[in-house]
Structure 1
Amino acid sequence: MTDDRHSVAETASLLKDPNEIALREAENGIRQFDLAVEMIRSFVKDKERPFRLRANLILQLHQAALDGIHPLAGTWRNTKVSIGKSKHVPPEAAFVSDEIQDMCEYVNSNWTRNADHLGAYVLWKLNWIHPFADGNGRTARTVSYVVMSAKLDSLLPGAPTIPEQISANKAPYYAALEKADEHYKEGKIDVSELEDMLNAMLAKQLLSAAKQASGEVPPPETRNYH
């Protein structure tokens, strides 16, 4: 889409044909979300093992999204990256690992916060770090969803899911990311715009589940997690 904020990095994609890339991205998007569902199920079932956000979880989800598309699938970027149509300049590659660790520590040490705040923080911070040469947005949205689901201790029912809703209309998402960036420049962690967005999307997802259960609407037939 023309309004997308694509990553621009020095490391090139493995694929060149746009149609082949689109097909592989669609297939990988389903694999990534299925992996996320497996992760959520494991945390919900295992009551004795509290959720901890770790770098390995993020790398696994990125590997699923970029497998066969990019040579750095499942690894942090090793070069500079820029974000199209954004004023934000991500940190140098040498600082990515430390920034990821800081993000994980924030989530784990603030686990008493609401799910919308934790999900919004991850959604913003991963985009701010932009730790990958490609696939940053889709991975950030999926990791955020895993964190929210784990915090709510539920494999959230209903569709479209939060990642699907963001993908269907990215303009509000991009605007909220930019507002969080502005707040951070002022020395504040304020992801309230993203929190409001996620709250509304969660309500829509759960409402759809209630309508499906009552027979008001048929179950969804397609998924789009790009």
Structure 2
Amino acid sequence: MSTGEGERRDSRALEPDLIRDPQARAEAEALNGLRQYDAGIAAIQDALEREGPFRLGPSLILSLHREALRGISLYAGNFRPGDVEINGSRHVPPGAHLVPEHVEDLCDYVNERWERATPLHLAAYVMWRLNWIHPFADGNGRTSRIASYVVLSIAAKILLPGMPTIPDQIVDNRKPYFDALDAADAAWREGRLDIAKMEDLLGGMLERQLSGFRARNTD
């Protein structure tokens, strides 16, 4: 996974630091990023090999979060115990007591539309809605990106080839990603669902990832 830095939005809730040294924490986060990506790929492969329809559940989302925050946060693999603010965003996430219900609703939305919505729509919805819920004390962006990628791949019925992957492209240039989240948030405040900007963003990134695969195999 890429370790490129760009514009960031931090939303860590108050919690004791398990790793206080900044360099040690950065190294742990990088290692956990690889573990989380591997866990996402394993989830895709398992779903593609298993008989029967895929159903997204909170347990998968929590397991992906656990890999990202293992050894770093006391709340790894658990929903946040309190409220959280997102620096640099107008959005105010729902209260902690509402998080489990919202995550269940997210999963219901995906599962109910699994056979009739496009893979890009489902992935864009997961990307935006998980960020909107902001269910974790830390690691929300990382978990939303890999969860969205898992849903996209399973819905497309393929382990997507090529580099850079969609999650890596977002990390390398976060601004279009934040703009797409903001557009969806603004529409939701007006009482409507509009994730077209996120769908377009993911569609362009998917093309780039697949183009990387084609270029590598035609040289």
**How high is the TM-score relative to the length of structure 1?**
0.93
Q: 2:158 & 2:6 partners in 1: Cα distance? A: 35
Answer yes or no: is 1:30 the counterpart of 2:34.
yes
Letter in 1 for 2:108: E
Residue aligning to 1:74: 77
Residue aligning to 2:190: 186
**How high is the TM-score relative to the length of structure 2?**
0.96
Answer yes or no: is 1:166 the counterpart of 2:164.
no
Structure 1 spans left out of the alignment, 5+ residues: 217-226
Which aligned segments of 4 or more residues in structure 1 are displaced greater than 2 angstroms? none
How far is the alpha carbon of 1:14 from its aligned partner?
A: 1.2
Answer yes or no: is 1:5 the counterpart of 2:9.
yes
Q: 1:2 & 1:81 partners in 2: Cα distance? A: 22
Letter in 1 for 2:25: I
Letter in 2 for 1:75: N
Letter in 1 for 2:62: L
Letter in 1 for 2:149: Y
Give the counterpart of 2:53 among 31, 50, 54: 50
Alpha carbons 2:162, 2:213 under 8 Å: kept: yes
Identity across the alignment (%):
47
Residue aligning to 1:147: 151
Letter in 2 for 1:27: L
Give the counterpart of 1:104 among 99, 107, 111: 107
Deviations 1:4-38 (A, max 9, x none): 10013122331111111110000000000001001
The secondary structure found in structure 2 opposite 1:172 is: helix
Q: How many residues align?
A: 214
Q: 2:93 & 2:108 partners in 1: Cα distance? A: 20
How far is the alpha carbon of 1:2 from its aligned partner?
A: 6.8
**Distance verdict in 2 for CA 1:2–1:146, change over 3 Å:** closer
Q: 1:167 & 1:2 partners in 2: Cα distance? A: 7
Letter in 1 for 2:9: R
Root-mean-square deviation (CA), in Å? 0.9
Structure 2 spans left out of the alignment, 5+ residues: none
Q: 2:94 & 2:20 partners in 1: Cα distance? A: 28
How far is the alpha carbon of 1:211 from its aligned partner?
A: 1.1
Alpha carbons 2:102, 2:133 under 8 Å: kept: yes
Answer yes or no: is 1:85 the counterpart of 2:97.
no
Deviations 1:33-74 (A, max 9, x none): 00100110011112x221111000000000000000000000
Letter in 2 for 1:116: L
